[in-house]
Structure 1
Amino acid sequence: MTTIDMSAHPALATRVPATRLRLTTRGRRVVAMLVSVPAAIALSVVILSSGGALASNENGAPAGTFSHVTVMPGDTLWSIAQDVAPGVDPRDVVDEIVRLNALPSGAIEAGESIAIPQQYAPAR
């Protein structure tokens, strides 16, 4: 019995064509879903666990270390800071008022009672 070597003759050798990966529309959708589901889960865990810092009152002041000021029409946090602490930089006072009251922004409404740190004696 004789053996024939196919690699010796280039016309007889079988060539494996190099193929590229092609994704169909459905394949792209599946890949996008597989990527987005873990990202959505991670984002929801972050959102749901971020409220713990506000609820725990870790950075809050002990009771009795602040006084209250009622917001008058036209008042802003800046004007209140200048009134209660005229010799101090208003930016620092506004920052302390925002943190003490856990305000989401600098917006306050007339008639609202906000806490002022006790170190700034209200001059009103």
Structure 2
Amino acid sequence: MSTVTAEIHPMSPKRRARLARTLFVLSALVIMIAGLIFNQSAVAVDQGSSQTTAFNYISVMPGESLWQLAQTHAKGQNQQDWVAEIILLNNLQSADLVAGDRLALP
């Protein structure tokens, strides 16, 4: 009876390094593809729930105040709330306006 004996050859350092590089690159690609798929689904969910808001823009005339603008533009809304909203929306430091300023109005 004869037996077959297979010889086991150890991997050369170059081949081992090439295999390690290949596995690393494949792992990185899998992670990147998974990240892209996850990101796309998150964007799709976010776009479905987003609302677009249109703004009107005005230029402040000399002597105008936010309170005067509130009397004109805060239709049916509390004027104090409207002024606070305009300050936040336009990132104003105070309620003081300068002629020529451009304000976004909801």
Normalized against structure 2, the TM-score is what? 0.47
Mark the structure with the bigger radius of gyration. 1
Q: TM-score, normalised by structure 1?
A: 0.41
| Larger relative contact order (Cα-Cα within 8 Å, sequence gap ≥ 6) | 2
